[in-house]
Amino acid sequence: MERTTLVQHIRQQEKSNPGATGEFTSLMTEIMVASKIISLEVNSAGIGENILGLTGKINVQGEEVQKLDEFSDITFTTIVGKSETVCAIASEEKEDPYIVPQEDNPGKYIFMMDPLDGSSNIDVNVNIGTIFSIYKKKSEGNEVTDEDLLQRGDEQIAAGYIVYGSSTIFVYTSGNGVYGFTLDPSLGEFFLSHPDLRIPGQGSIYSANEGNWGIWDENQKNLVSNLKEDNPSSGRPYKLRYIGSLVADFHRTLLKGGIFMYPKDKNSPEGKLRFSFEAAPLAFIAENAGGKASTGSERILDIAPKGIHDRLPLFIGSKKDVEMAETHLAAEKGKKGGWFKWLSG
Ligand code: AHM
Ligand code: MG
């Protein structure tokens, strides 16, 4: 059986762009190499070298840094940083972006990453992942400026994620469809396993940390209450699935449809998830798969952040489900409703 490798696929995609120089293929190849190293480390966590547990450090988000977080951050930064394809790397783990020194021949791309998403699931053998996003340098000259680092979501050149789970899956889009590749561990090669991924127009699953109920506002509570109501003619109640690793929750949403939400709450008035490292790349993938991503009132990809660590609420998944959420959240404060409006819309 003839199988398409990830590198072959990236090369074919780049060929369809007449001005392409091969730099994008080189960058994606390096991302793939780094992801294989992390996959191996994740799969052997607990054996031999002590890679599980905390480093004892606190990151820029005020969270405890796990050893695998740090390992992934260093692996990506070292490999991608030496690839001569990027001029800056921004990481969820680091306050400031790494600017590639002139002697390392910086390239034209900006690389953004959450090197290991879902850290709280590392020690318990539950799926974790890497999320990345690629922009092109906009400003003239060698310096990397805010114009380069704080671009609108829809200016992404490509975005992707890698899930380290029961198998390792690499999903990416360069704005022309969404494709998934599964790592064959015996060959150490990613092969196309999910050609042209499309999110179902409507799903039957919602995903949220409902433990936060007491700190949600009334509209958010009404939205989730509606999803739980017994109303078979409109497909309710929805099922609840929440892993607590965004990559894994998003991967399921991409394949099965439904909605993932991390709303703002009393403790995180801006929302918890980060625009540059989590929301924007997944929104780019969702839209390229026919889905939708919103803050509840605004399209994620229309936003340009003010800082690389900006946070925001995220509602992402099937188009109809995200539209339904927006309708609920726009309802007059605390007033029930939205579902009827949405059904008849
Ligand atoms: P991380 O990037 O530090 O791992 O944090 C982000 C994670 C997401 O993967 C997940 O969706 C969310 O935080 C879970 O948060 P909570 O534990 O509040 O439900
Ligand atoms: Mg994360």
Q: Tell me which of 68, 247, 273, 316 to substitute to probe ligand 1's pocket, judged by most ligand atoms within 8 Å of the beta carbon.
A: 273
Structure tokens at 97: 């972006």
Fold of 205-344: D-Maltodextrin-Binding Protein; domain 2 (3.40.190)
Q: How far is the CA of 246 from the centre of ligand 1 (A)?
A: 6
Pairing of strands 178-184, 189-194: antiparallel
The structural domains of the chain, with segments of one domain joined by +, span 6-194, 205-344
What are the beta bridge partners of residue 260?
Answer: 207, 316
Q: How far is the CA of 107 from the centre of ligand 1 (A)?
A: 32
Half-sphere exposure of 176 (CA within 13 A, CB side): 10
Nearest-angstrom CA–CA distance, 28 and 172: 10
- pLDDT of the chain along its 345 residues, tens only? 689 999 999 999 888 777 778 999 999 999 999 999 999 988 876 665 566 677 777 777 777 777 888 999 999 999 999 999 999 999 999 999 999 999 999 999 999 999 999 988 888 889 999 999 999 999 999 999 999 999 999 999 999 999 998 899 999 999 999 999 999 999 999 999 999 999 999 999 999 999 999 999 999 999 999 999 999 999 999 999 999 999 999 999 999 999 999 999 999 999 999 999 999 999 999 999 999 999 999 999 999 999 999 999 999 999 999 999 999 999 877 666 555 455 544
Please list, in sequence order, all residues whose beta carbon lies within 8 angstroms of the beta carbon of residue 79, skipping any fewer than 6 positions away: 30, 33, 34, 37
Asked whether the beta carbons of 25 and 174 are under 8 A apart, the reply is no
Specify the CATH superfamily of domain 6-194. Fructose-1,6-Bisphosphatase, subunit A, domain 1 (3.30.540.10)
CA distances in angstroms from 158 to 13, 70, 210, 228, listed in the order given: 11, 24, 32, 36
Q: Tell me which of 246, 264, 312 to substitute to probe ligand 1's pocket, judged by most ligand atoms within 8 Å of the beta carbon.
A: 246
Three-state DSSP at 54 gives strand
Structure tokens at 275: 């625009």
The closest-lying atom of ligand 1 relative to the alpha carbon of residue 273 is 6
The ligand placed nearest to the CA atom of residue 250 is 1
Stretch (H or E) spanning 301: none
Other C-beta atoms within 10 Å of 187: how many? Answer: 10
